[in-house]
Every structure is written in structure tokens, then in C-alpha cells.
Amino acid sequence: MNKTRVTLLLGGFFLLIAGWQGWQEVKAQGADWLPVKYVRIEGAFQYIAKQKVKEVLREQLLNGFYNVDIQQVQAAVKSLPWVDTVRVERVWPDAFNIAIKEQSPVVRWSSDALLNADGEIFKPEKIKDFSRLPLLEGPAGYEQKMLEIINTLSIDLSEQGMLLSKFRINERRAWNIKLQNKMELNAGRNQPLKKIQRFLKTIPLIGQEQIAGIAVVDLRYSNGYALRWKQGAAEIDWKKIAEMKKT
């Protein structure tokens, strides 16, 4: 019985060796024996050039069906500027499915990049094509935080008929905001969001006609703000506004 068991074990071992050697030979000849015949690319593309995806895949799939390194294929496709996520699936006996999700820009970041909705940076080739998007400038690592801030701030601004153009946080963490109506808000670094929201609440008292004449709002005061007017703007009758507030 022992001799039989040993014989069976040795036979199984040699079968494994033979199988492994055969598998290595199949892999070595994969490009000719089992070539990749079909590649299906799935995804809705607005900015990704499908031809570039095909060029990347062509290089990765040359060595045959079994020799393809799926992680390497994913990394190669992911390196394209507009690719957000990619999933690669091997389909027996000669095909690959490539599912790609395209990046969706929500704001510009600095001079050469965009941010998606998760605050992740990506750098397309033609950044000038997105000049309509708000511009964010801030310290490295502040991307997601600044995006969260403008998501809140944009709601407050839209209630007053205003739109964000540029949001900057400098090295001292002071806020500066420019609106599409050319108004600039200097909010400083001490409770800047609270001060901006306080200013926005006073807009109905000032009136939209007078608001159009404001160039700069300096919010770096604990209990108020200062205004600088555009050249030629009509002066506001603050006494009248104060009386209206009382009533």
C-alpha cells in the first residue's frame, strides 16, 4: 500500500510538472496560437479620443490572450488624460472587454489642471477649452476642501443672482473671491465663509442697482464691511437704507 501511495504521489507530481511546462509553452506561443481577436470598448466619451485608447491597447495585447497582464493594461489606459476609471475583463477564448469611465470636470485648478466632482486633479491637453469653469487656486492638498466650500458658497451666491468666477486661498489661508459680475470679495482668514454669508444677507437692503456698482467688498472686519465702488457708480444713500431697515 505504501509503495502504491508513493507511486501515485510521484505520478501526480510529474503530471503537475508536465502540466506546468505545457502551460509555459502555451503562454510562450500565445500570440500565434491564441491571439486576441476582439476588443470591446465600453463607455460614453465626450473628450476621450477612442483612437488613442486603441493605440494603447494594441501595444498591450500583442503577446496573445494568456500573456496579457490585466493590471498593466488598466494602468496603461488609466494614464490617458481623460480616463477616470477602467475595468479590463478577459473573455474566453479570444476577447477582452474594456469598460472606461470618462472624467467629468467641474472646476479649473491653478493654470494647468481640472478637478472632478471628487476633488481629484487631472490634466488634459487643451485646458483653455474650459475657461468657462470657475477657477480655484490654493495650497497643494486643498483641492477637495476648496471644492466643498464652493459647493456651499455657490448656493448662497445663486440665491442673490451671483456666480463664482475665481476662488483663491493664499499661503496665509486668506480667502479672495471674484464673481462673474466683476465684484471682488476679500474675506481674510478669520471666519471667511461666515463673513461672506453675512454680506450676502445685506444685499436685499442695498438693492441690485447699487450692487452692480460695487468693485470690492472688504470683509476683514469683525462687525461689518467696507465697499469700494466702480468708477462712475452712483453713491448710496445709507441713511435711507438704515431707515428702511428700521421699518
Query: pLDDT category, 10, cuts 50, 70, 90?
Result: very low
pLDDT one-digit tens code per residue, 119-149: 999 998 888 889 999 999 999 999 999 999 9
Residue 86 pLDDT class (50, 70, 90 cuts): very high
Q: Report pLDDT for 31.
A: 47
pLDDT for res 34 = 80
Q: Give the pLDDT band of residue 190 (cuts 50, 70, 90).
A: very high
Does 212 score more than 90 pLDDT?
Answer: no
- What the block records as the C-alpha cell of 62 is 500583442
Cα–Cα distance, 167 to 179 (Å, whole number): 9
The answer on pLDDT for 24 being more than 50 is yes
Q: Report residue 227 as a C-alpha cell.
A: 465697499
Long-range contacts made by residues 75-79, C-beta under 8 angstroms, separation at least 24?
77/53
- Nearest alpha carbon to residue 54 among 22, 96, 20: 96
Which is more confident, 97 or 29? 97
Tell me, rounded to whole angstroms, the distance of Cα 144 from its chain centroid.
Answer: 9
pLDDT at 138: 96
Threshold 0.75, pTM exceeds: yes
Q: Domains along the chain?
A: 33-103 (3.10.20.310), 106-246 (3.40.50.11690)
- 3-state DSSP helix/strand/coil percent for the chain, to nearest 5? 40, 25, 35
**Strand extents, DSSP E, 21-65:** 38-42
Mean pLDDT of the chain: 85
Q: Give per-residue pLDDT as tens, 216-238.
A: 999 999 888 999 998 876 666 66
Q: d(Cα 57, Cα 245) in Å, to the nearest integer?
A: 67
pLDDT (0 to 100) of residue 23: 46
Q: Furthest-apart CA pair in the chain: how many Å?
A: 111
Rounded average pLDDT over 75-83 = 94
